[in-house]
Every structure is written in structure tokens, then in C-alpha cells.
């Protein structure tokens, strides 16, 4: 997984929901392929990465990471896994409910219109909403299993849950290894599963593509919309323009919240009530996971870690000063000479 900075956007297009509605109603769109990102889950309470102020990258500023992605970069994690675990509990989806957008995916599946979903999300809320798992590829993995990042040996669920609950880094049970345990989420610097290459071809079979809640800044998922055949409409439902969506004649951009966008579509299709029913059912069905109940908020986790880092800096600053004074009193003339 890597950052994709190539973005080509043409001037804004008027949204044309009706053309999409007509296509679905006349049976011209029966193989809908969807690409989703963090923006479809912000309504559930999980911040995305890049939204200004509310996104995780801005929130992480007090931690003074070398760069915000570091917390999810495999190289950084290999020597400094603490920040990841300090916020893991607040980002764990155990107690979060699917959004209307997740329910919309389930509705497409129910109406036999959903060909395939590529989600970049690791929260599993698509499945909680009732989207059949064989219709989804969790391109960036999930929280359901974990392995030592170093020797790849697996690690028990109960110990992992304890680590997430307490914010303590779990280490490999093989004491000779000592690697930190990592959930099977794809970090920056890691490759996606081979399944991604296999499933990519589903995009070529699309007769409509929906791209929702993603900045299209993370490769290789960012390339999927460009694989859609010419003449096939691509619909972007997002707070902002993303990738090259809007550049092709058939593209439709519905700018605004994902939940509002899918509601507009559903209402125009006469599915408004079905969507609401499905969403309410999904919310009622999702059981709370007591393991993660009542934990600190993300902001509290970040604040706690930031102040513990600051405390450590204070100790080392004080220690440094003490050492400097000591050295100066003993060898001041030598040090001064050396610098002179
Ligand atoms: P991103 O780069 O943070 O982009 C999110 C996009 O969604 C931005 O364009 C926002 O403007 C937009 N957005 C945010 N909220 C809404 C909303 N309610 N309605 C409409 N648009 C909205 O995130 P991407 O998904 O593009 O980047 C891929 C990363 C994010 C993957 O590696 C994920 O694992 C990672 N991520 C996942 C989750 C999750 O699982 N829920 C949360 C945060 C980050």
C-alpha cells in the first residue's frame, strides 16, 4: 500500500442522479462495482485519515510523529509500536454500528445488483450491515486475526483483545523472537493480498461503478476507477472531488455526505423505505462487544500518549542537563578546547 499523489481533476460537473436512476431502472446497470473508503464510516464514529481537523492525521499532531502515516507504516511499527496500540481501542469497531451507506450496499446485494465491493476499510461494517462476505474484498485486511510482524507466528485472540483494551503492546509468544504483534491489517509498506490482483478484473465487468468516501490517495485501490470501461458511468459520492472522477463524460459527482448521497439515490429509485428498514435492522442486530465498552475516546488516548512522551522528554532533558553539568565541572576545559 502506498500514497498515490497523481490527481487529475477536470472542472466541476453538475450531478446527474437521474441518468443513474434511469440506468438502474431500465436494467442497464445490474453489475454494480463499488469502491469504498473511510468516509463511509465517519458517520459511525471512526475518523478518516485525511479530512482537515476531524481526520486522524490532524488529530495525531501532538504526538510529533516523523510523518502522520508513520503510525501505520510497517517500518515505524517494527521499532515503535506504542502509538498504534495507544489509539487501537478507540479505533476498534467492536461497538460501532453500520451507517446508512453500509445498509445501501446490503440493499444493492438484496436487489441482485451488487457485483462486488472493494473496501479499503478495516472496520468490517459492510458485513455487519448484511453485505454477503463473498461480495466484498477487505483490501486492507481487518482486525479479526493477528500475527507477530517479525516471525509471522499467530497470536491468540484473547491476548490480543487484552492488549487492545489496555493499550499495551503485545509481543510474540516466542521469547527468542521478541517481535511486536500486529493485527492483520495492511500497513503502509506492505503488499495487498494476492486476492486483490485476482479480483481487480471484476471492475472490467462493471456496468456502473460507485466510489464512496475515499480520497483515492492510497494505491493500489486508487487505480480501480480508472479500470472501468469507457462509456460506463462512474459515480463519486464524497465530500470532495477525488482522483479523476468527473473527467469522463459519463461521470457523476454527488458531493456531500455519503449517507445523504445514497439516500438521494435510494429515494429517486423509490427504495427509501427499504433502505431505512435495512439500516434500522442492521443497527439493532449489531451486538455490542463488551471487551471494548466504555474505553477512552480517541482524543483522550492521543492526549495521554502525548503527555507521557512529554514526561519522558522532561526526564531525558533533565538527565541530559545533569550530565552536561557534570561533564562541564569535570572536563569543562577539555570540552571548551575541543569546540574552540
Ligand atoms: P481518506 O484518505 O481519509 O479519505 C476519506 C475521504 O472521505 C475524504 O475525501 C473525505 O473528504 C471523505 N469523507 C469523510 N467523511 C465523509 C462523509 N461522511 N461523507 C462523504 N465523504 C466523506 O481515507 P481513504 O479511505 O481514502 O484512504 C484509505 C485508507 C484509510 C485505508 O488504508 C484505510 O484502512 C484507512 N482508514 C480506514 C478506516 C476504517 O476502517 N473505517 C478509518 C480511517 C482510515
Q: For residue 143, which of 124, 159, 156 has the smallest C-alpha distance?
A: 124
Q: Give me the phi and psi of 35, to 5 degrees please.
A: -120, 125
Q: Tell me what pLDDT residue 294 has.
A: 77
Q: Is 151 annotated in some ligand binding site?
A: yes
- Confirm or deny that 148 is annotated as ligand binding: yes
Evaluate if pTM is beyond 0.85: yes
E strands, the chain, in order = 2-3, 32-36, 114-119, 136-138, 141-148, 181-185, 208-212, 218-219, 234-238, 252-255
Is 41 within any annotated ligand binding site?
yes
Ligand 1 centroid distance, CA of 38 (Å): 3
Instruction: Please tell me the distance between residue 216's alpha carbon and the centre of ligand 1 in angstroms.
Output: 9
| DSSP, residue by residue, 254-269 | EES-HHHHHHHHHHHH
The per-residue pLDDT for 5 is 45
339 has catalytic annotation: no
Pocket (CB within 6 angstroms of ligand 1) = 37-39, 41-43, 46, 48-51, 55, 120-123, 140, 213-215, 217-218, 238-240, 242, 257-258
User: Is 24 annotated as ligand-binding?
Assistant: no
* Catalytic, out of 102, 140, 147, 319: 140
- Nearest Cα neighbor of 32 from 195, 209, 177 is 209
Mapped onto helix, strand or coil, the DSSP state of residue 6 is: coil
Please provide residue 179's backbone torsions phi and psi, each rounded to the nearest 5 degrees: -70, 155
Mutate to test the pocket of ligand 1, among 4, 36, 38 (most ligand atoms within 8 A of CB): 38
Which residues make Cβ contacts (< 8 Å) with residue 286, sequence separation at least 6? Answer: 96, 97, 98, 128
Which H helix or E strand runs over 125? helix 125-129
First to last CA, the chain: 50
d(CA 324, CA 9): 56
Q: Ligand 1 centre from 50 Cα, in Å?
A: 7
Q: Whose CA is nearest to atom 29 of ligand 1?
A: 120
What residue ranges define each of the domains in the chain, with the CATH number in brackets?
29-46+96-140+190-295 (3.40.50.1220)
- Digitized pLDDT (tens) for each residue of the chain, 340 residues in all: 665 544 434 334 444 899 999 999 999 999 999 999 999 999 999 999 999 999 999 999 988 888 999 999 999 999 999 999 999 998 888 889 999 999 999 999 999 999 999 999 999 999 999 999 999 999 999 998 999 999 999 999 999 999 999 999 999 999 899 999 999 999 999 999 999 999 999 999 999 999 999 999 999 999 999 999 999 999 999 999 999 999 999 999 999 999 999 999 999 999 999 999 999 999 999 877 777 777 888 899 899 888 887 666 555 565 566 666 666 666 555 443 323 2
Amino acid at each position: 500500500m502506498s500514497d498515490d499523489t497523481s490527481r487529475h481533476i477536470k472542472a466541476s460537473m453538475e450531478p446527474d442522479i437521474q441518468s443513474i436512476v434511469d440506468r438502474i431502472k431500465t436494467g442497464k446497470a445490474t453489475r454494480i462495482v463499488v469502491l469504498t473508503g473511510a468516509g463511509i464510516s465517519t458517520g459511525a464514529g471512526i475518523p478518516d485519515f485525511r479530512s482537515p481537523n476531524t481526520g486522524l492525521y490532524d488529530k495525531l499532531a501532538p504526538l510529533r510523529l516523523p510523518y502522520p502515516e508513520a503510525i501505520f507504516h510497517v517500518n515505524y511499527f517494527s521499532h515503535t509500536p506504542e502509538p498504534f496500540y495507544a489509539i487501537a481501542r478507540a479505533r476498534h469497531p467492536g461497538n460501532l454500528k453500520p451507517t446508512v451507506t453500509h445498509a445501501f450496499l446490503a440493499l444493492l446485494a438484496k436487489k441482485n445488483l451488487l457485483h462486488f465491493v472493494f473496501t479499503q476499510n478495516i472496520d468490517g461494517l459492510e458485513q455487519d450491515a448484511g453485505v454477503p462476505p463473498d461480495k466484498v474484498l477487505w483490501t486492507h485486511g481487518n482486525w479479526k486475526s493477528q500475527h507477530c510482524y517479525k516471525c509471522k507466528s499467530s497470536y491468540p485472540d484473547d491476548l490480543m483483545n487484552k492488549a487492545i483494551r489496555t493499550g499495551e503492546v503485545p509481543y510474540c509468544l516466542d521469547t527468542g523472537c521478541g517481535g511486536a504483534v500486529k493485527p492483520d491489517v495492511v500497513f503502509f509498506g506492505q503488499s495487498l493480498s494476492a486476492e486483490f490482483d485476482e479480483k481487480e478484473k471484476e471492475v472490467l465487468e462493471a456496468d456502473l461503478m460507485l466510489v464512496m468516501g475515499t480520497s483515492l490517495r492510497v494505491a493500489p485501490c486508487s487505480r480501480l476507477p480508472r479500470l472501468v470501461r469507457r462509456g460506463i458511468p462512474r459515480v463519486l459520492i464524497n465530500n470532495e472531488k477525488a482522483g479523476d472522477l468527473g473527467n469522463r463524460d459519463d461521470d457523476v459527482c454527488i458531493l456531500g455526505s455519503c449517507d445523504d448521497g445514497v439516500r438521494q439515490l435510494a429515494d429517486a429509485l423509490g427504495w427509501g423505505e427499504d433502505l431505512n428498514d435495512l439500516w434500522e435492522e442492521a443497527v439493532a442486530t449489531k451486538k455490542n462487544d463488551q471487551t471494548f465498552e466504555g474505553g477512552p475516546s480517541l482524543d483522550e488516548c492521543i492526549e495521554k500518549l502525548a503527555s507521557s512522551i512529554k514526561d519522558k522528554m522532561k526526564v531525558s532533558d533533565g538527565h541530559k542537563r545533569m550530565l552536561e553539568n557534570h561533564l562541564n565541572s569535570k572536563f569543562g576545559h577539555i570540552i571548551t578546547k575541543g569546540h574552540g
